């Protein structure tokens, strides 16, 4: 048995047949898009850390196509995800050699932080990703 579930539907609530659950999780994506403040005129470098199947990036690219988007996940099939206007990479945020310094204007962490026992190193790595 693989330690990773299938990438499609990795967060099943986004695909729930229950309309209330589906609406709640879709609304979370809308709120995240608003919170990210992607509406400015200058192109931004945006990372979706723990991107899964790329649902947040689909919405972000559709609404704000001028930015440069990346999705990172530890899932072995993440590089097979296709969202026009976004690039996907398999990255372990806790492996410093894989993490470029000061690369992004925005880093979103949706449905990922709860998977880490110790948030200190993760948040330090995310801080290091952000441009000054």
pLDDT digits (tens, 9 = 90+) for 35-57: 999 998 899 999 999 999 999 99
Contact call for residues 36 and 22 (beta carbons, < 8 A): no
Buried b (16+ CB within 10 A) or exposed e, 36-45: bebeeeeebb
CA dist., res. 83 & res. 99, Å (int):
22
What pLDDT is recorded for position 41?
83
* pLDDT greater than 90 at residue 16: no
What pLDDT is recorded for position 1?
37
* pLDDT greater than 90 at residue 5: no
H helix runs in 11-94, sequence order:
19-35, 55-63
Number of H helices, E strands in the chain: 3, 4
């Amino acid at each position: 048995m693989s330690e990773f579930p299938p990438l499609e539907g990795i967060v099943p609530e986004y695909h729930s047949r229950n309309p209330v659950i589906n609406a709640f999780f879709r609304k979370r994506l809308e709120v995240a898009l608003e919170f990210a403040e992607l509406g400015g005129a200058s192109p931004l470098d945006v990372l979706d850390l723990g991107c899964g199947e790329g649902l947040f990036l689909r919405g972000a690219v559709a609404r704000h196509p001028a930015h440069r988007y990346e999705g990172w996940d530890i899932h072995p099939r993440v590089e097979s995800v296709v969202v026009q206007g976004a690039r996907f990479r398999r990255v372990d945020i806790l492996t410093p050699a894989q993490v470029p310094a000061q690369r992004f204007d925005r880093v979103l962490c949706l449905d990922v932080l709860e998977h880490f026992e110790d948030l200190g190193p993760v948040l330090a790595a995310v801080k290091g990703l952000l441009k000054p």
